[in-house]
Amino acid sequence: MRLVILDRDGVINEDSDDYIKTPDEWRPIPGSLEAIARLTHAGIQVVVATNQSGIARGLFNVDMLGRIHNRMLDEVHHRGGEIEAIFFCPHGPQDGCSCRKPLPGLFHDIAARFKTSLNGTYAVGDSLRDIAAARAVQALPVLVRSGKGARAIAQGGRELEGVPVYDDLAAFCDALLSCATGPGAC
């Protein structure tokens, strides 16, 4: 099974420091939905792993998050793609959970659900939290400049050593699908 794990905000859709609180606020990054469709057509299963602390902060509830995700799924499907599953952490930074990235709880849940090791699985994110969570399960972290990626690059240092960086999900997808051995091999 080939699997790619994507962060949501900043990778698939535009991010906001005010949070994405409604389906109307969810706006795809140009080319991201088509990239997911291309991955789907290449036989790669796409899974989303996303921190959603807006729930803990009282900005929206789980029902609203479901409506936001339904919009995303509909938009992806409309372009011929599929997202196999969405894993989310509803907790805030101070809640002490194991599922909030940079901790790997969501990734462990993905491995259990799909009955696979994530060793060698690409995990695409736009933050140092995404990179740390991927490394914790031996996944292959990838950083995109979209979303908060430029900020992560400025903060990065050693945390980004060996991490391939792409402009956005579409550029990562181009590299992955054009190289027999994956991004960075071209």
**According to DSSP H, which parts of the chain are helical?**
32-41, 62-78, 105-114, 128-136, 149-156, 169-178
* Run of H or E residues at 103: none
Is-catalytic flag, 17?
no
Determine how β-strand 44-51 pairs with β-strand 85-89.
parallel
Is-catalytic flag, 7?
yes
Give the residue from 64, 109, 103 showing the smallest Cα distance to 86: 109
Give the residue from 49, 43, 41 showing the smallest Cα distance to 77: 41
Question: For residue 122, what are the β-bridge partners?
Answer: 4, 140
Q: Which of 7, 126, 130, 174 is catalytic?
A: 7
Residue given tokens 């803990």 in the structure block: 56
Question: For residue 84, what are the β-bridge partners?
Answer: none
Phi then psi for 87, rounded to 5 degrees? Answer: -110, 130
Q: What residues act catalytically?
A: 7, 9
